Amino acid sequence: QGSKQLLNNYPVYITSKQWDEAVNSSKKDGRRLLRYLIRFVFTTDELKYSCGLGKRKRSVQSGETGPERRPLDPVKVTCLREFIRMHCTSNPDWWMPSEEQINKVFSDAVGHARQGRAVGTFLHNGNSYYEGTDHPGTQDEVFNRGMQDGSGD
């Protein structure tokens, strides 16, 4: 009912109204579009209780890993990644984010959900941090996939 399927082979839907909001607010930036879509596709709880993309090892030492921390639904994640690439490819005036930037948008969304803020609210404040270049040091987080996440007990 008025739902837009993002990609044919994925069961991921948003409403036409959400799509319009996302596109109109994204200013032709694939990262902004992804932020909106994450907010529409995942519930705050899904984000909050996940371990993001499951790539970071950090949480193992901090002792706060409960069994409830699961990576975000890989079907939705893959769908959003593919969708952003496809959208930016078919609309060349859109900014196409890199793999690292895409990962960062996901982990930011998780961090914001955990802090109890709506995922979308940070579009208006702290722009300088989110816009701009990749931050040094994210590189190895992307490649060290934390496979032993929470499996120690």
- Specify if 142 maps to a domain: no
Inter-residue contact 97 to 105 (CB < 8 Å): yes
pLDDT by residue (tens digit) across 109-153? Answer: 999 999 985 544 444 443 333 333 344 444 444 444 444 444 444
Inter-residue contact 109 to 42 (CB < 8 Å): yes
Distance, in Å, from the CA atom of 61 to the CA atom of 114, rounded to the nearest integer, reads: 18
pLDDT by residue (tens digit) across 40-65? Answer: 999 999 999 999 998 765 545 445 55
- Specify if 152 maps to a domain: no
- Specify if 64 maps to a domain: no
- Specify if 133 maps to a domain: no
Which domain does 17 fall in, by range? 3-55+69-115
- Specify if 137 maps to a domain: no
Distance, in Å, from the CA atom of 84 to the CA atom of 86, rounded to the nearest integer, reads: 5
Domain count within the chain? 1
- Specify if 80 maps to a domain: yes
- Specify if 28 maps to a domain: yes
